[in-house]
Structure 1
Amino acid sequence: MTASAASLFDSFRLGDMTLPNRIAMAPLTRNRAEAGLVPGDMTAQYYAQRASAGLLITEASQISQQGQGYQDTPGIYSPEQVAGWRKVTDAIHAAGGRVVIQLWHVGRVSHTALQPGEGAPVAPSAIRAETKTYVNDSFTETSLPRALDASEIPGIVEDYRKAAANAVAAGFDGVEIHAANGYLIDQFLKDGANRRSDSYGGSITNRTRFLLEVLDAVVGEIGAARTGLRLSPVSPANGISDSHPQALFNHVMDEVEKRHPLYVHVVEGATGGPRDIAPDFSFAELRQRFTGPWMVNNGYDLELAEKVIAEGEADLVAFGRPFISNPDLVERLRRKAPLNELKKETLYGGGAEGYVDYPTLDDAAR
């Protein structure tokens, strides 16, 4: 590393925020929302414990009941949910942190038990997601979706806009649009899930249309400087695929660049899995097409994170599961201290155990 190279622990200017370091906490579903899918006091404690991250990105939060795909995930569409999130953001800010909420519509990755009137989940096309969801305290095959009528799409775009407005009302510093991991926006993007023959299907331009309508609506409501975007170009998460991902995401980045969002957050490789599943895909090519802040994610350890920051390949690095078991992950990385072991059996659902009871270095020293 040269004397002028950036460090993972340097501050970074992101929109109107000055981040104390370049480490982000990635969005992590924990299935602990309370009645009405409202985040509770324990959720406020959980995020405040992790406020030393340069940026916190909350667990994905649905923009409507239709957008829900898993049991006990929080929403950002009701007054009660907004009030619950306000307690969370207040706790984070009191602890010195900065936070954006991830806006979510799962599309076909859902189950009739979670949908309004127990109807079918919605998707670009009526193709079942080859994956499971979490319903009634167990993992269950997803339900067969129905294809959205073109007349329904503007209403979903409006739900994103309202959710962004709600996020600001709840005290968030911004939002991250979830366009990754096989959920609704990703389903529109990728031809393995989108077989439409109208203006939202077929060509790359058409398949990108829904993403850009959502991005424009959110930017129009809260401004580009408070709007981030997450993408996973080659991840097969939730049974998603595309026949020509490089061409697709080159086009996506050319269009996103015109809109100057707060950042782009990219999952490199398979979400939560191998980084090298698409050796012919060039993430560097995407990076060259976007002049704004670039956040990378998936399988990063301290050494790799330091390398990509020092070499200018990324501006921010998002860590996922290590933040679950290490509320003071930033300090542990700084000191090269050992990490707590993750309790996988407490990842989804439950109470305080495996949620707010992981010790910090200071706890261990007592």
Structure 2
Amino acid sequence: MTSLFERYQLGNLTLPNRVVMAPMTRVRAAAGGLATPSMATYYAQRATAGLIVSEGVQPSLVGQSNPGTPGLHTDEQVASWTPVTEAVHANGGRIFAQIMHGGRVSHPDTTGHQPVGPSAVPAVGDVFTPTGPQPAPMPRALEEAEIPEHIGSYAAAARRAVAAGFDGVELHGANGYMISQFLSSNANLRTDSYGGSVADRIRFAVEAMAATVDAVGGDRTGIRLSPGGTFWGVEETEVRELYTALLTELARIGPAYVHLEATADEDLLLELRRVWPGTLIMNPTLPMGPKQAGRDDADHWLGQGADLISFGRSFISNPDLVERFRAGLPIAPVDEAAYYQGGDRGYVTFPAYQHSA
């Protein structure tokens, strides 16, 4: 059976193991969406992962979802990310930037702009703002002529990511954000060529991927998806047909990988594994769900045909997660209060495992 600690060739990158650090919002960016020295420390501490996928990075100001998140749409942001990627590489790691357009999951108090989305349908729940949680506002439905600009923002951010030293990018197509909203049957009520049928609901995702692959190459581009997920109130009809069609179209474009979340039953996920001919990263438990992924989950999905396994929360409090898995060492518990509090505590203050004398 495939081992979690075997090497894997991902495009032009040789990964020393099959452990992926999943993208996680940590809201530690400086004003102007700039990466910080603490962010360089945080990612460099976790560079033993086969691959790191960064927190979601907005490709435009209107695409920003949460306050305190970093961007890749200005020269200053590119310059701020360069020490981060250099620190990861100096520690022997590899890092992709996750490009995340929030779409309707945003607020004017955060960006100064009315959020946009496929339709004028608000997200369900409260969104984060600089003054605390507020009800998700009504987004402005994009005109069809505006859509290419937002598709192009993924490609433009990817070019900036590569200029900043990232090894590649992952499009955030999951969890109720912009790409996921276009895939949705209740957030996307469009009647033009970007809504309605399965073929039209996948069009935004396919065109965003094609533009990004054209910009930086397929070997530097992946996408994260949450089949059947209901984050921020999205719903998807015809889930099997929707994701079968999407993966079929993505395979023609040739990205480096697809990153699936365990948001559907295992039978459907295994069907999608059979549809997708390329590298599959599997996130084996529901993001932010009650169960934290462990070594047993990884071994199960490697046995089911996944190539790489991503871990989120476990990496927060265990910068040496790979070694802990390898040696069967205890996994430190997470400190949920520190997830989004800002500052270094609960961010770069977790030690590697301390062996007793």
- TM-score norm. by structure 1 comes to 0.93
Distance of 1:25 and 1:126 partners within structure 2: 34
Separation of aligned partners in 2, 1:59 and 1:225: 20
Q: Secondary structure at the match of 2:241?
A: helix
Instruction: Tell me how far 1:160 sits from its aligned partner.
Output: 1.3
SS of corresponding position for 2:202: helix
Shift of 1:350: 1.6
In 2, the alpha carbon distance for the partners of 1:302 and 1:36 equals 38
Counterpart selection for 1:305 from 275, 298, 301 = 298
Please state if 1:287 is matched with 2:273: yes
Within the candidate set 240, 246, 267, 2:261 is matched to: 267
User: Is 1:162 the equivalent of 2:136?
Assistant: no
Q: CA deviation at 1:365?
A: 4.6
Contact in 2 for aligned 1:62/1:68 (Cα 8 Å): yes
- Cα distance, 1:280 vs. partner? 8.3
Indicate which of 184, 187, 193 corresponds to 2:187: 193
Select 2:326's aligned residue among 322, 334, 346.
334
Kindly report which structure 2 residues correspond to 1:29-48, keeping only aligned pairs within 5 A, or say none: 29-48=25-44
Matching residue of 1:214: 208
Are 1:151 and 2:137 an aligned pair?
no
1:355 aligned partner: 347
Aligned partners of 2:153 and 2:188: how far apart in 1? 21
The corresponding residue for 1:275 is none
Unaligned runs of 5+ in 2: 286-292
Shift of 1:281: 5.8
Tell me if 1:24 matches 2:10.
no
Partners in 1 of 2:22 and 2:127 — Cα distance? 20
Which residue is equivalent to 1:226? 220
Structure 1: 5+ residue stretches without partners: 270-277
Deviations 1:56-90 (A, max 9, x none): 00000000000011110000111111011111000
Structure 1 residues 279 and 222, CA gap change in structure 2 (3 angstroms)? closer
Q: For 1:6, which of 2, 6, 22 is the aligned residue?
A: 2
Whether the aligned pair in 1 keeps the contact of 2:284 and 2:309 (CA below 8 Å) is no
Alignment partner of 1:86 out of 82, 85, 88: 82
CA RMSD of aligned residues (A): 1.3
Question: Which amino acid in structure 2 is aligned with residue 55 of structure 1?
Answer: L
Q: Is the 8 A contact 2:105 2:115 kept in 1?
A: yes
Distance 1:281 1:312 in 2: 11
Correspondence for 1:135: 129
Partner residue in 2 for 1:273: none
Alignment CA distance shift 1:11-1:129 (3 Å):
same
Q: Tell me the alpha carbon deviations over residues 11-68 of structure 1, each in whole angstroms, 9 at most, x when there is no partner.
A: 1111101111100000000000012110100000000000000000000000000001
Q: How many residues align?
A: 350
Are 1:246 and 1:281, in contact at CA under 8 Å, matched by a contact in 2? no
Q: Decide whether aligned partners of structure 1 residues 281 and 246 sit closer, same or farther in structure 2, where only a CA change above 3 A counts.
A: farther
> Equivalent of 1:322, from 314, 317, 323?
314
SS of the aligned residue for 1:102 comes to: strand
1:48 and 1:340 mapped to 2: Cα distance? 19
Cα deviation per residue 1:294-313 (whole Å; 9 max; x = unaligned)? 0100423101211221x252
Letter in 2 for 1:227: T
- Which piece of structure 1 moves more, 165-174 or 331-340? 331-340
Match of 2:336 in 1: 344
When structure 1 is superposed on structure 2, of 298-307 and 314-323 the one drifting more is 298-307
Which of the residues 178, 183, 195 maps onto 1:184? 178
State the SS of the aligned residue for 2:299.
Answer: helix
C-alpha distance in 2, partners of 1:240/1:58?
24
How far the C-alpha of 1:140 sits from its partner, in A, is: 2.1
2:324, 2:139 → 1: CA distance? Answer: 44
Question: How many angstroms apart in 2 are the aligned matches of 1:166 and 1:160?
Answer: 10
Query: Displacement of 1:131 after TM fit?
Result: 2.2
For the residue of structure 1 that corresponds to 2:133, the secondary structure is strand
Query: Judging changes above 3 Å, is the alpha-carbon distance between structure 1 residues 127 and 89 closer, same or farther for their aligned structure 2 residues?
Result: same
Percent of pairs with identical residues = 44
Residue 57 in 1 paired to residue 43 in 2?
no
1:296 aligns with 282
Superimposed CA distance per residue, residues 144-166 of structure 1 (whole angstroms, 9 cap, x where no aligned partner): 11100011111112211110100
**TM-score, length basis structure 2:** 0.95
